[in-house]
Chains A and B, each alone.
Chain A
């Protein structure tokens, strides 16, 4: 038995309308697949379970500040403490000169956090997943918009849900095979 049901729509507005209708019918475990980030779909999904605003920017900020702090501390340690050689009559600990590297390291690690954050939250770094291989699903990265309702949804019932989706004007409806 399939653990989810997938419905295909022609464009993002149809998908957004479908989401609203399905939510009105009590479906909660909704997810959409689409070839570009459509604002209508975003809006329609607000309130469904996985749709909280991304908190990755906070992670980036945290990593950036942490890296900047470490970068400054390292410069102090190496130039100001461990072997405080004197150059050009400057004091070994010379904060002004330590700014550029501090800044750069902050940016670098914030960027790492951002990139790795997306991969992590999007459960990426993989080759395939549960919906890949569903007939016609390759259009999700091309020109079609897909709605997913998980079997875990309390309102889910294979036949009724399919009927509900047909009502929303889905172009096709697929039940992906469960992986071996």
Chain B
């Protein structure tokens, strides 16, 4: 007779191979699900380099400048807006007017060429976010942007994923009624980040699709 077709140890190899096969198939499903939740994919915590070394810590904490002083259209418009060069020069024609750090700003101002900032918070094209209505309802800026006053370089702290948006839209009261919109009240905002369990999840005008997708 011929020798045994398979040696006894082959069982272990066989079973191991099958387990690997199934695990591989499962990971094809699971790995993308994990990936989309990583900060890498959501662009969180990425310190972009900007054309101007603008330090929010200094302007917000040391100088006590309100967010809306520069990002003024946030109150009126869907877009919060990056300030025109003229706003920078409003102060910096008086102070630090010789600083080499501000050379880019001055060049922009006198040449009329805009400064090319890198976008930090970017929503997909089909999402219509409106800053003004959030501000009008007393959502602190920190709620979404984090404590910018402590950031040397602004990074995105919130994942800006749809479920993250929905957390507040379902529990609308959670963010409303803050006394001062631009309070740097990071700690109190953190409390709000922990969503209360919404008892009523029925669809409202804040959670229907066209609130954000049009």
Shortest Cβ distance from residue A3 to the other chain B in the assembled complex, whole angstroms: 14
Q: Interface extent on B, as a size class?
A: 10 to 19
Shortest Cβ distance from residue B10 to the other chain A in the assembled complex, whole angstroms: 5
Question: Which of A86, A127, A135, A179 gathers the greatest number of chain B CB atoms within 10 Å?
Answer: A127
A128 touches B11 (CB 8 A): yes
Residue A48 CB within 8 A of the other chain: no
B1 touches A128 (CB 8 A): no
Residue B25 CB within 8 A of the other chain: no
| Chain A interface, DSSP helix/strand/loop, else mixed | loop
Residue B28 CB within 8 A of the other chain: no
Q: Interface extent on A, as a size class?
A: 10 to 19
Shortest Cβ distance from residue B9 to the other chain A in the assembled complex, whole angstroms: 9
| Chain B interface, DSSP helix/strand/loop, else mixed | loop
Q: Select A125's contact among B6, B18, B208, beta carbons within 8 Å.
A: B18
> A133-B5, A180-B8 given as contacts; is B202 within 8 A of A127 (CB)?
no
Residue B110 CB within 8 A of the other chain: no
Q: Select A84's contact among B6, B14, B203, beta carbons within 8 Å.
A: B203
Contact with A along B100-116 (1 / 0, CB 8 A): 00000000000000000
Q: A83-B201, A83-B203 are in contact. List 15 more A-B contacts (CB 8 A).
A: A81-B201, A84-B202, A85-B203, A86-B203, A125-B14, A125-B18, A126-B11, A127-B6, A127-B11, A128-B7, A128-B11, A129-B11, A132-B4, A136-B1, A180-B8
Instruction: List the 10 closest A-B pairs by CB distance, nearest first.
Output: A133-B4, A127-B6, A128-B6, A126-B11, A127-B10, A179-B8, A135-B1, A127-B14, A127-B11, A85-B203
**A: which residues have CB within 8 A of B?**
81-86, 125-129, 132-133, 135-136, 179-180
